[in-house]
Structure 1
Amino acid sequence: MELIETFLNYQENIKRCVCIIYDPLRSGQGVLALKALKLSEGFMELYRTQNFTGEKLREKNLSWKNIFEEIPVKVSNSALVSSLMNELEPETPATQCDFDRLVLSTNPFMEQNLEFLIECMDDLSMEQQKFQYYYRNLSRQQAQQQAWLQKRRTENAARRVSGEEPLPEEEPNNAVFKTLLEPSRLDSYLINNQISNYCGQVNGLLDRVSVNCISWMRSTKSRAM
């Protein structure tokens, strides 16, 4: 939420504003984890009104996938910079970072992402309980409204028989007809977005392990031949 509020203020004042996300842990393993994001126009419009009801989200055709828009990132050096770097370091020695990239273990990253996933699933479960509670109350209220209307119609039928004026069937001040506020779906959308990101990272780690295993098997086979 803090990121969205800060980003919204920046994006309203700076038209070409983006949020750069960098993961130093993954980058230390030889994968440049760099991503550029911006808030989608549809999400910003709803966030200004704070109207994240199911009806409004369906009207805007907005899902948790449409909160952010990813901007392609291309990192490159000019020819002069590349030439200068080669002149400054003609024989670049291996650094600790270079050796770290050779470590293929993904246990710390996998464990961390799974822990985050568990936390997000707990948060999502709590959000679902809010909606279950809301829909139970809504169903109970609708049943009470139908019972009240049936009773009032029966009473009005008796009053008409006796020549009396019927009572109104709509009473806005009646507690039975009080509008129940639907919980905001913003938190559940943000949690779903986080779950998707963590799952993507886990899949990326598994794909990397598979590629490394295949490469090792091929090299072993070549040496045996």
Structure 2
Amino acid sequence: MAEKEVPLTAVQVEALVAMKMIKHSTQAFPTTVTGSIVGMDVGGKLEITNCFPFPVVEMAPESHFDTAAPNPAAAAPRAKANTVYQAEMIRMLREVNIDANNVGWYTSANMGNFINLNVIENQFFYQKELNERAVALVNDVSRSSQGSLSLRAFRLSPKFLAAFRENKFNAEELQKSGLRYQDIFVELPIEIHNSHLITSFIHQLEAPKQAGPTDLPQSLAALESNPSAKSSTVTPNLDNLSLSVDPFLEKNCDLLLDSIETHHTETNNFQYYQRSVGREQTKINNWLQKRKVENATRATLKQPLLPEDEWQRLFKLPQEPSRLESMLNSRQVEQYSRQIDNFVASTTGKMFAVKGNLLPGETAAK
């Protein structure tokens, strides 16, 4: 293992490991799956060389937050039974001379919906108990199914890790520490690595040679019906010319609206807490004022004064709700917003490119 002082700068994932995670996530989609990843820490780069899935076991809720939703698959990495299973698997890997250093865990996601308490507590468990340099790999199955691999690596930031360890998520502590929802995760760049043998094989792949000269196609239909074009491995993807709106855009907008509704609910709950504190504080001030007048009267009559701290026994201020849920929801809203921005950017660019054909009158007027 590398020295602890060297900060992590990147995560290198073997192509076979990526394929195993994709297969595991796709087979169980839309159910959340989790697994362990092993590898080595070399010079600030985390090299992931193997992985294995976690079995789903029923476990009692160990979260110190009452709002943690029960999800056996998502909570599997920190289950006691899976901790024993993971240690046994790593021991067997070590016996066959395979990298057997636990460097984190992986999970699947759908439409970027992975920022929740289960992910936070799993990563906190790994960074606190197993390996402080552990990472969480998130494979978004819905995004990967569109042809581009969506695999991201995250770690909890030191500032958030300290706040989560002490469970300090009230307004006063957050204001002192300056912790924001952007500070929850630290994302690391991912590199997909192939062995030299696989790289050599990929470079040897080539398109089949044409038997003779071919005529240029007269139309798009003729180009699509050409059998040589279909069989070629380097045929351009004509789907990129489609003007249809990405089908995932509507679903992302729905998820974004749900997160915004959750944000409004959390805001209303906090405002209700502030109103409750204001009412109780008013009662306490009235009681203190009344007690001071009474003590002034008793002092005039040379009678013993009554204690003025009895309000702590008579009145009870409501407990401030944790702001952790609001922070996670705000981070999830940012995630959905970025995804929508990526979806809209590609469609908007194509719309501007063909604007002259769609709105010929407006273009001519300009």
Answering whether residue 246 of structure 2 is matched by residue 116 of structure 1, we say no
Answering whether residue 267 of structure 2 is matched by residue 128 of structure 1, we say yes
1:1-225 → structure 2 map (5 Å cutoff): 1-12=117-128, 13-77=130-194, 80-88=197-205, 90-91=207-208, 93-94=232-233, 105-171=244-310, 173-176=312-315, 178-215=316-353
Q: How many Å apart are 1:174 and its aligned residue?
A: 2.5
SS of equivalent to 1:105? coil
Compared with structure 1, are the counterparts of its residues 216 and 173 closer, same or farther at alpha carbon in structure 2 (3 Å cutoff)? closer
The CA deviation string for residues 160-216 of structure 1, in whole angstroms up to 9 with x for no partner, is 11111111111155322x242110000010000000000111111111112333455
Verify the 8 A CA contact 2:246 2:347 in the aligned structure 1.
Answer: no
The share of aligned pairs that are identical, in percent, is 34
Matched with 1:221 is none
- TM-score norm. by structure 1 comes to 0.84
The CA deviation string for residues 90-110 of structure 1, in whole angstroms up to 9 with x for no partner, is 547459xx6766655334211
Q: How many Å apart are 1:22 and its aligned residue?
A: 2.4
- TM-score norm. by structure 2 comes to 0.54
5+ residue gaps, structure 2, are 1-116, 209-230, 357-366
Q: What letter is aligned with 2:338?
A: G
Q: What letter is aligned with 1:160?
A: A
Q: What letter is aligned with 2:126?
A: Y
SS of equivalent to 2:160? helix
Matched with 2:362 is none
Name whichever structure is richer in helix by fraction.
1
Q: What letter is aligned with 1:208?
A: S
Matched with 2:30 is none
2:239 and 2:122 map into 1 onto residues whose CA distance is 35
1:37 and 1:103 map into 2 onto residues whose CA distance is 34
Name whichever structure is richer in strand by fraction.
2
Compared with structure 1, are the counterparts of its residues 122 and 186 closer, same or farther at alpha carbon in structure 2 (3 Å cutoff)? same
Compared with structure 1, are the counterparts of its residues 194 and 63 closer, same or farther at alpha carbon in structure 2 (3 Å cutoff)? same
Verify the 8 A CA contact 1:28 1:101 in the aligned structure 2.
Answer: no
Compared with structure 1, are the counterparts of its residues 44 and 104 closer, same or farther at alpha carbon in structure 2 (3 Å cutoff)? farther
* RMSD between superposed Cα atoms in Å: 2.7
Which structure is higher in RCO with an 8 Å CA cutoff and minimum separation 6? 1
Q: What letter is aligned with 1:44?
A: L
2:185 and 2:270 map into 1 onto residues whose CA distance is 24
Matched with 1:222 is none
2:118 and 2:243 map into 1 onto residues whose CA distance is 35
Matched with 1:223 is none
2:196 and 2:353 map into 1 onto residues whose CA distance is 33
Q: What letter is aligned with 1:212?
A: K
Q: What letter is aligned with 1:45?
A: A
Verify the 8 A CA contact 1:36 1:73 in the aligned structure 2.
Answer: yes
Q: What letter is aligned with 1:194?
A: Q
Compared with structure 1, are the counterparts of its residues 31 and 101 closer, same or farther at alpha carbon in structure 2 (3 Å cutoff)? farther
Verify the 8 A CA contact 1:30 1:101 in the aligned structure 2.
Answer: no
| Count of residues paired in the alignment | 217
Compared with structure 1, are the counterparts of its residues 78 and 104 closer, same or farther at alpha carbon in structure 2 (3 Å cutoff)? farther
1:200 and 1:161 map into 2 onto residues whose CA distance is 70
Q: What letter is aligned with 1:196?
A: E
Q: How many Å apart are 1:89 and its aligned residue?
A: 5.4
